[in-house]
Structure 1
Amino acid sequence: MAHEYKATARREGKWWIITVPEIDAVTQARHVREIQTMADGVVTAMLDLDEGEATVTVSIEMPANAKEAWEEAARLQAQSEQSSQRAAALRREAVRNLLTEAQLSQSDAGALLGLSYQRVQQLAKTV
C-alpha cells in the first residue's frame, strides 16, 4: 500500500514553492503543470522510495485577489442562474394567465408579449 502525503504549493515571485510538512521537505516548480511531478519527486527522493510507493495530494493556494474575484464571479453566476429560472417561470405564468384567465388566443397573447404564437405555445406547454 502506498504511503500518503499532503503537499501545499504557493506562489512566491516567479516560482511555486511546494512544501510537504510531514517529511519537512521543500521544492519548487516554475509552472503549475510541474507542481505534482515535483511534489512526487521530492517525496520519493527524500524517503528513498520507488515510483508509485507514495501518493502525494497537492493543494495549490491561489493568490488571494484572484481567488476572491473567482469566488465572486461564481456567486454572481449562481444568482444569475436563479434569476433566469425565476424569470422563465414568470414568463410561463404570464402566458398561462393570458390563455386561461384572459382567454386570449395564442396569436393575441403573442402580440401582447412580443412573441410568436409558436413561442407562446411552447411556454404554455412547459411545466
Structure 2
Amino acid sequence: MSTTYTVSVTRDGEWWMVAVRELDALTQARRLGDVDTAARELVLLETGTALDEVSIDMHVELTAGDGDLTARVADLRARRERIEAEEAAVRADTAAFARELAAARVPVRDIATLLGVQCGFGKAGG
C-alpha cells in the first residue's frame, strides 16, 4: 500500500525547492522532472519507507513580480487537455464517417479529399 505525501515546489535561483509538508523536510532538484524522485528519496531517508511505497502529490507554486503564474499554468494545461480530447473525438468521428462513405462505394482517395485527410496511399519510394 502506498502512502501519499504532499509536496510544495518553489523556484529559488537555479533550483527547485521541494518541501514535504507531512515531514517538515526540504530538499532540492535541478529540474522539475527530478522533483518526484527527490521527494520520494527524502521520504525514504526520513521514514525508511521504500520508494515504491511512496506517492507524491506535487503542487508547483510559481510567481513572477506581483503575479501568480501557477493559475496560468493550470489554465493552459486544462485547455490543452480539452483540445486533445476534442481532437480524439474528431478523429473517431472522421474514421466512422469514412467507413460510411466507403460502404456507400465512395473511393478512398475521394473520401480523403472530402474529409481533408491523407489516405495513406502513395507511390512506393516517392
State the alpha-carbon separation in 1 of the partners of residues 108 and 24 from structure 2.
72
Residue 7 (structure 1) shift: 3.9
Structure 1 residues 78 and 40, CA gap change in structure 2 (3 angstroms) = same
Q: Does the CA contact (< 8 Å) of 2:7 and 2:39 recur in 1?
A: no
Q: 1:95 to 1:41 in 2, by over 3 A?
A: closer
The percent of aligned pairs where both chains have the same amino acid is 19
Change (3 A) 1:111 1:82: closer
- Say which SS state the counterpart of residue 54 (structure 1) adopts: coil
Cross-structure match for 2:98: 91
**Larger helix proportion, structure 1 or 2?**
1
Other structure's SS at 2:107 match? helix
Shift, 1:82, TM fit? 0.9
Offset of 1:39 from its aligned partner? Answer: 5.3
**Is the contact made by 1:18 and 1:39 (CA closer than 8 Å) also made in structure 2?**
no
Q: Where does the alignment leave 5 or more consecutive residues of structure 1 unmatched?
A: 100-108, 120-127
For residues 9 and 112 of structure 1, the distance between their equivalents in structure 2, rounded to whole angstroms, comes to: 54
Total equivalences in the alignment: 99
Task: Report the structure, 1 or 2, having the larger strand content.
Answer: 2
Q: Post-superposition shift, 1:57?
A: 3.0
Q: How big is each residue's C-alpha offset from its partner over 1:35-89, in whole Å with a ceiling of 9 and x where there is no partner?
A: 3336524762xx5x6xxx2244333334432332233222211111111211221
- The TM-score, its normalising length taken from structure 2, stands at 0.53
CA distance in 2, matches of 1:26, 1:8: 9
| RMSD of aligned alpha carbons | 3.6
Distance 1:57 1:112 in 2: 50
